[in-house]
């Protein structure tokens, strides 16, 4: 008698250590829910992994998700694992993200070999970062610092920092925690100093919209509070036509049943900074979306033509 063949499902992921950690986390969760299926990882290279210049010059958001979504659409993979801060606010009509995992630490990490904090940086210090948001926020606080482009995965950037390429850099606390590299954090930057990127610290799982069996399975993994929080943040970003060309930050945090929202837009040099803050009881995705979107529209109107929103 022939053994029953175990059904196989493919989980798409980028190949960086952090992306693999997140994909393996999803793989373990799915094995627990459906041990009869063979959940296999399929590593794909994305555009964001290969370019060497500024992300904004190559299309911005979507560079780390496009190839994964193409593999979903043509059936090479059955689900894709994303860092939600990399996911464009307007998705493909045939794809859906039915599960968001619990949110990790949202803060940015300041990392330096010699300097204990942002304020301890010497005048004219060189800071390596590929993030326009982080550069603008730091420039607003420390207009004397200089910047250089620092790209690559977490390990690559830490190695370049140790080699003296720059005096300091920034990474997400969540990513360092997940990689067991929390000891590399010099300073976890308070959110009132550096408001994070929309959806920072959240892992999402994307599938084909018509795959109802997968949708049903993943529904049990969805963290509702994370979903409502980043729905508001991503709606704020969408209202602003946010791209990698405009520094935009947003954070929605829970205080009981109340969602406390903060958002900001900066000029790339940090000289102009516009913000908003509000709190509201939120129960549904629709309410969260409207909450964030309205604040994005109002802030954009307040800014007028003082900051250019490039798409």
Which pLDDT does position 127 carry in this prediction? 97
Report the share of the chain in percent with pLDDT over 70.
92
Q: Rounded to an integer, what distance in angstroms lies between the CA atom of residue 221 and that of residue 174? A: 19
Q: Which tens digit of pLDDT belongs to each residue from 265-297?
A: 999 999 999 999 999 999 999 999 999 999 999
Which pLDDT does position 103 carry in this prediction? 98
Look at residue 52 and tell me whether its pLDDT is greater than 90: no
Asked whether residue 268 is assigned to any structural domain, the reply reads: yes
Look at residue 58 and tell me whether its pLDDT is greater than 80: no
Asked whether residue 173 is assigned to any structural domain, the reply reads: yes
Report the share of the chain in percent with pLDDT over 90.
85
C-alpha dist (Å) from residue 158 to 19, 23, 133, 175, 186: 17, 22, 20, 13, 12
Q: Which of 42-51, 139-148, 300-309 has maximum average pLDDT?
A: 139-148
Q: Rounded to an integer, what distance in angstroms lies between the CA atom of residue 293 and that of residue 310? A: 18
Domain count within the chain: 3
Whether residues 157 and 211 fall in one domain: no
Q: Determine the structural domain holding residue 174 and report its residue range.
A: 108-189
Asked whether residue 75 is assigned to any structural domain, the reply reads: yes
Asked whether residue 127 is assigned to any structural domain, the reply reads: yes
Asked whether residue 194 is assigned to any structural domain, the reply reads: no
The DSSP H or E segment spanning 100 is strand 95-100
Whether residues 94 and 212 fall in one domain: yes
Report pTM: 0.92
Answer left, alpha or beta for residue 147, where phi above 0 means left and psi between -120 and 50 means alpha.
Answer: beta
Which pLDDT does position 238 carry in this prediction? 95
Q: Tell me whether residue 223 is one of the annotated catalytic residues.
A: no
Which pLDDT does position 300 carry in this prediction? 93
Q: What per-residue string of b and e applies to 143-177 under the rule 16 or more CB within 10 Å gives b?
A: eebebeebbebbeebbebbeeeebbbbbbbbbbbe
> Terminal CA-to-CA distance of the chain, rounded, Å?
60
Whether residues 232 and 207 fall in one domain: no
Which pLDDT does position 57 carry in this prediction? 45
Task: Give the residue carrying structure tokens 């210090």.
Answer: 125
Mean pLDDT of the region 158-167? 94
Whether residues 263 and 308 fall in one domain: yes
Task: Give the residue carrying structure tokens 């997940």.
Answer: 178
**Best CA proximity match to 112, nearest among 165, 186, 172, 190:** 186
The gap from C-alpha 201 to its chain's centroid, in whole angstroms, comes to: 6
Whether residues 67 and 136 fall in one domain: no
The DSSP H or E segment spanning 303 is helix 285-303
Look at residue 264 and tell me whether its pLDDT is greater than 80: yes
Whether residues 252 and 267 fall in one domain: yes
Whether residues 276 and 155 fall in one domain: no
The CATH number for 123's domain is 3.40.190.10
Mean pLDDT of the region 142-171? 94
Look at residue 226 and tell me whether its pLDDT is greater than 60: yes
- Average pLDDT over the chain reads 92
**Residue 202 gets which letter from DSSP?**
-
Q: Are 125 and 194 in contact (CB under 8 A)?
A: no
**Best CA proximity match to 117, nearest among 167, 172, 181, 183:** 167
Which pLDDT does position 307 carry in this prediction? 87
| 129 HSE (CA, 13 A, CB side) | 26
Mean pLDDT of the region 68-81? 96
- Lowest-pLDDT choice from 4-18, 134-148, 181-195: 4-18
Look at residue 259 and tell me whether its pLDDT is greater than 80: yes
Look at residue 148 and tell me whether its pLDDT is greater than 60: yes
More confident residue, 243 or 38: 38
Q: Which tens digit of pLDDT belongs to each residue from 19-47?
A: 999 999 999 999 999 999 999 999 998 76
Mean pLDDT of the region 86-105? 95
Look at residue 70 and tell me whether its pLDDT is greater than 60: yes
Mean pLDDT of the region 54-63? 55
Which pLDDT does position 2 carry in this prediction? 52
The CATH number for 277's domain is 3.30.160.40
Whether residues 132 and 89 fall in one domain: no
Q: Given 86, 105, 108, 167, which residue is catalytic?
A: 86
């Amino acid at each position: 008698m022939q053994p029953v063949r175990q059904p196989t499902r493919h989980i798409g992921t980028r190949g960086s250590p952090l992306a693999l950690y997140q994909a393996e986390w999803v793989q373990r969760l799915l094995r627990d829910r459906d041990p009869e299926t063979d959940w296999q990882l399929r590593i794909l290279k994305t555009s964001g992994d290969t370019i060497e210049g500024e992300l904004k010059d190559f299309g911005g958001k979507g560079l780390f998700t496009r190839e994964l979504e193409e593999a979903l659409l043509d059936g090479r993979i059955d689900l894709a694992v994303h860092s939600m801060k990399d996911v464009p606010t307007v998705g493909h009509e045939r794809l859906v993200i039915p599960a968001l995992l619990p949110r990790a630490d949202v803060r940015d990490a300041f990392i330096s070999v010699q300097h204990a904090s942002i304020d301890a940086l010497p005048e004219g210090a060189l800071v390596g970062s590929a993030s326009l948001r982080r550069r603008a926020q730091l420039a607003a606080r420390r207009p004397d610092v200089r910047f250089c482009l620092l790209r690559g995965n977490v390990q690559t950037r830490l190695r370049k920092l140790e080699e003296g390429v720059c005096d300091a850099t920034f990474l997400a606390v969540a990513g360092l925690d997940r990689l067991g590299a929390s000891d590399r954090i010099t300073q976890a930057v308070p959110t009132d100093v550096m408001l994070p990127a929309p959806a920072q610290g959240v892992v999402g799982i994307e599938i084909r919209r018509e795959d109802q069996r997968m949708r049903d399975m993943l529904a049990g993994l969805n963290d509702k509070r994370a979903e409502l929080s980043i729905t508001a943040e991503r709606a704020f970003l969408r209202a602003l036509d946010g791209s990698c060309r405009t520094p935009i930050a947003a954070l929605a945090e829970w205080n009981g049943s109340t969602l406390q929202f903060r958002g900001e837009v900066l000029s790339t040099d940090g000289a102009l900074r516009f913000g908003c803050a509000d709190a509201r009881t939120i129960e549904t995705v629709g309410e969260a979306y409207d909450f964030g979107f309205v604040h994005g529209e109002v802030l954009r109107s307040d800014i007028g033509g003082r900051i250019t929103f490039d798409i």
